[in-house]
Chain A
Amino acid sequence: MATSKVTVHPSAAGPANSGRAAEMALVERCRKGELGAFEELYRAHAGRLYSLAWRMLGNPTDAEDLLQEIFLSAHRKLDSFRGDSALGTWLYRLGMNQILDHLRSRAARAGQLTDGMDDAAVLEDAMAHRLDAAAIDRVDLERAIAQLPDGCRAAFVLHDVEGLEHREVAVVLGVAEGTSKSQVHKARLRLRVLLGRK
């Protein structure tokens, strides 16, 4: 999985100028070693990063470990934050890069990362299932996403959950745009099986 460093911005808009000034003040307090300021920063952004890590990695334990590493790394790198982008965007980028590094090393340990899903089998299975008319339960969906293979899950989370375009997903994951489409499409079919019935 030859991922690149994240350069794309998350879909969330950054704060206005006044908000940016407040962010810089908060960062300055963090740089001075004020724990309360860093906790404020953590409370504002931890939920988003933890959710991203959990969904991308597929399990809460790894996500919690990585969340700690992301914020410890953020604290070390605060001096490099110049306020050119919103603090949330900077943290998101930092977090995403760490998540991708984690996925890369996991893939290296497990050999070449493949989605482990045979296209024809996935298609046949998905066609034989359908979702219930009832609304899709959030917990069931999270659980099903966690069951997807790593590559497939990462592309699906970035595209369908985080709202990135396929070309952006391709840059982030270091794959061709066609591969991003194929992975996301396969993930949706697999989810139809996991959440549906015959």
Chain B
Amino acid sequence: MACSQYLTSIQEYVDGTLGPIRRAELEQHLAGCEACRTMATDLERLRESASSLGDVRPPDGAWLQIAGRLRQEGRIHDVSRSRTRLPRLAWAAMAAGLVIAAGGGLFVLRPGTRATTAPTAAQTSTAAPPAAGNAPDAKSVESVQNELAAAQTQYETAITHLEQIAKANQASLDPQTARTLQKNLAITDMAIADSSAAVHAEPTSVAAREALFDALRQKVSLLQDTISLINEMRKGNNAGAAQVVNKS
């Protein structure tokens, strides 16, 4: 058993605050007392182990809860709409191409394409993380994630549908306009791939998820504009086509 009269000295020795005289006295004692030596060694090991404890990662849901509450309190604005835009120069080049392309046959797309293919505003707001409806105390983190996955699927379905329409009518576009559109679509595809990878790496990251939805929304918008453009060019409506380009 360690000697109780040396215990305070042992603790201060471990703290590194023991004065030189008492330190020398303690070291002399430790040399001949196995129990006190073991006590000193144990306490030193405890201190060393404690000081080397690393950070513990918080649960994944913690950030979603914080983001949800920030949004509930109105202290976060949705930057996704204004974050990334397709290059204006690319659209300007396409506008120049319109003059050459106009004059083709009339083609009218079914009305309501936009409304039926893209997720509605209400659906989007439910999907966009963290939306007003994802109050942490009202829904579990898991249910919010499920909603996000469902919204993503909805976007992807809309994109597939719009791509089919655009591809089927692509011949109406002049080669330069078609190339510009392909370039813009490639940019959005790259953004979708990047943000998908970010979401995969950090499934609970609201920023990553917003970036993905941003990219998906952008692609839907681009495809919708492409179809409108094809439509106006089929009608021979130069002014309408220019309006589509200028709006984008």
Bound complex: CA A136 to CA B53 (Å): 11
Chain A hits for B15, CB < 8 A: 166, 181, 184
A136 and B49 in contact (CB under 8 A), knowing A35-B210, A39-B205, A72-B70? yes
Cα distance A128–B26 in the bound complex, in angstroms: 20
Main secondary structure of the interface of A (DSSP, over half): helix
Interface residues of B in 1-50 (CB under 8 A from A): 1-2, 4, 7-8, 11-12, 14-15, 17, 35, 38-39, 42-43, 45-47, 49-50
Known: A35-B207, A72-B66, A163-B51. A136 touches B58 (CB 8 A): no
> In the assembly, what is the distance between CA of A51 and CA of B54, in Å?
8
**Complex interface: chain A residues within 8 A of B239 (CB):** none
From A33, which residue of chain B is reached at the shortest CB distance? Answer: B77
Given A35-B207, A166-B15, are A160 and B46 also a contact pair (CB < 8 Å)? Answer: yes
Given A35-B70, A36-B210, the answer on whether A138 and B49 have CB atoms closer than 8 Å is yes
- Chain A 131-151 interface residues, beta-carbon cutoff 8 Å to B: 131, 135-136, 138, 141-142, 145
CB-defined contacts of A195 to chain B, threshold 8 Å: 46
CA distance A136 to B48 in the complex (A): 10
Interchain pairs with CB closer than 8 A, number: 132
| Tier of interface size on chain A | 35 or more
Is B75 located at the chain interface by the 8 A CB criterion? Answer: yes
Q: Please, which residues of chain B bring their CB within 8 A of the CB of A185?
A: 7-8, 11
- Shortest CB-to-CB span from B199 to chain A, Å, is 13
28 contacts between A and B (CB under 8 A): A32-B77, A34-B76, A35-B71, A38-B70, A39-B207, A47-B57, A51-B56, A67-B58, A68-B66, A72-B69, A72-B73, A75-B75, A127-B1, A127-B35, A130-B39, A131-B45, A161-B50, A161-B53, A163-B51, A166-B15, A166-B17, A181-B12, A184-B11, A185-B7, A188-B43, A191-B46, A192-B42, A192-B46
The 10 closest A-B pairs by CB, nearest first: A36-B207, A47-B55, A50-B58, A160-B50, A33-B77, A136-B49, A185-B11, A51-B56, A39-B207, A131-B42
Interface residues of A (CB under 8 A from B): 32-36, 38-40, 42-43, 46-48, 50-51, 54-55, 60, 63-64, 67-68, 71-72, 75-76, 123, 126-128, 130-131, 135-136, 138, 141-142, 145, 156, 160-161, 163, 166, 181, 184-185, 188-189, 191-192, 195-196
